[in-house]
Amino acid sequence: MSDFTHFDAKGNARMVDVGDKDVTERTATALASVTMQPATLALIQGGGVKKGDVLQVARLAGIMAAKRTADLIPLCHPLPLAAVDLELTCDPKRSAVDIRATCRVIARTGVEMEAMTAASVAALTVYDMCKAVDRGMRVTEVRLIHKAGGKSGTFTAS
């Protein structure tokens, strides 16, 4: 039918059988950004958001989301994550919070979805915590930038 792995020959959705794949170390890194008004970023940097420390709460939300990816994305394999790391940085020039999520696993399938889920949920958490002062924020640039391990090897976004 197609080259998509999550469909069988009849076009039915299916979970990919990874039973014959080698167990290897696999990593993936994803990015997301939340752009906002400069005053909103200043509140985040100064600890003035009433709901608490935006960057710390978003970091925890991203970690928790990576661990729950298989519950959120249909047909995604549950994985025994070895590590989840989130870096949140403020960029005053762009008036943005940038999020970098890296996941690592030793398993039969990759962690791209876990990294992208972590970055996305961390970004949504920044939005949620700051929406009372800036509903015009934008979650942007959610993308995979690197993955390594497994049969398909290494991918680095250009």
**Does 128 participate in catalysis according to the annotation?**
yes
CA atoms of 112 and 143, how far apart (whole Å): 10
69 and 114 Cβ atoms separated by less than 8 Å:
yes
Q: Catalytic residue, from 8, 91, 128, 134: name it.
A: 128
Which positions are catalytic? Answer: 128
